[in-house]
Structure 1
Amino acid sequence: MTVKAILAAKGHDVVTLGPNEKLAEAIRILAERKIGALVITNGDRKIVGILSERDVVRVIAKEGVAALDITVRAAMTPKVKICNENHTVNEIMEIMTTGRFRHLPVEKDGLLDGIVSIGDVVKRRIETAEREAEEIKAYIATA
């Protein structure tokens, strides 16, 4: 299974925010949308960073309540690992595990095209395992 198949099932919608927004706004969106990360773009769908819950915790631990007034740019991770629609589930699992990421933006032609979460990966792996188990059962039943 590829990232393209995951996005075909879940859609290409991604919650984004500009780098000059306040961290308080980012936190509000994360909580309201019940998501773990925002992809940071300049409004042109060009990825300039990612802001995860871990980034928020890190900056609040360092700055305290004053962190709410800093810009997203000061709190985000600017070097974003990305994938494309041709990556397989196994490849993105490797990227996520190695980098300890729970979200991986998908880029197409240099622009944001979607996002894959660890939940998406686990869901697809479970579906694959269940399908393979059913195929084995069917094979054994006909043998």
Structure 2
Amino acid sequence: MRVETILNVKGRSVVTIEDGCTLREAAQALDANAIGALVVVDPTGRPIAVLTERDIVRELAMHGRASLNRTVANATTPAFVTAAPDDTVEDIMMRMTDRRVRHLPVLDGRELVGIVSIGDAVKAKMEAVEAQTAAMREYILS
């Protein structure tokens, strides 16, 4: 299964935030959308990073309440890991494991076309295994 298939099922909606916004605004966006990560964009709208709940917690631990007034750019990790629509589920699971990330923005060239989480990848993998099991069972019984 490919990332494109996952996006066709789950949708392509991505919540973004500009890198100059505050962590308070980021936390509010995460809460309002019931999500765990935001794609950070520069003023031109180009994706440049991912901000996660974990990033905000780390900033709070290091700087206390004052961190809520710091910019998103101060909290993101420098490595920006992405996926492409034609990547396989296995590809993205390996990338997430190797880079220790749970969310991958999906870029088609330079265009942001979606985001996939480790949960999306595991769900897709489980569905594929279940389909193989059902096909095998049908083959054996016929």
Aligned runs of 1:36-55 on 2, under 5 Å? 36-42=36-42, 44-55=44-55
Distance across 2 between alignment mates of 1:72 and 1:112:
19
1:94 maps onto 2:97 in alignment: no
Distance across 1 between alignment mates of 2:77 and 2:110:
18
1:104 maps onto 2:104 in alignment: yes
8 A Cα contact 1:106 1:113, kept in partner: yes
8 A Cα contact 1:48 1:78, kept in partner: no
Question: For 2:12, what is the secondary structure of its paired residue?
Answer: coil
8 A Cα contact 1:93 1:121, kept in partner: yes
Aligned pair count reads 142
8 A Cα contact 1:40 1:49, kept in partner: yes
Distance across 2 between alignment mates of 1:78 and 1:30:
20
**Poorly superposed stretches of 4+, deviation over 2 Å:** 42-45
Q: Which residue of 2 aligns with 1:139?
A: 139
Residue deviations 1:123-143 (CA, integer Å, cap 9, x gap)? 11111111111101101101x
TM-score normalised to the size of structure 2?
A: 0.95
Q: Which residue of 1 aligns with 2:121?
A: 121
Distance across 1 between alignment mates of 2:86 and 2:115:
13
Residue deviations 1:44-82 (CA, integer Å, cap 9, x gap)? 441111101111111110000000000111111242101
1:28 maps onto 2:44 in alignment: no
Specify every segment of 5 or more residues in structure 2 that has no aligned partner in the other structure, as ranges.
Answer: none
1:130 maps onto 2:130 in alignment: yes
Q: Which residue of 2 aligns with 1:81?
A: 81
Give the RMSD, CA atoms, in angstroms: 1.1
Q: Percent identity?
A: 42
Which shifted more, 104-113 or 58-67? Answer: 104-113
Question: For 1:17, what is the secondary structure of its paired residue?
Answer: strand
Distance across 1 between alignment mates of 2:5 and 2:45:
21
Distance across 2 between alignment mates of 1:32 and 1:49:
20
Look up the equivalent residue of 1:103 and give its one-letter code.
H
TM-score normalised to the size of structure 1?
A: 0.94
Distance across 1 between alignment mates of 2:120 and 2:51:
19
1:61 maps onto 2:77 in alignment: no
Q: CA deviation at 1:42?
A: 2.4
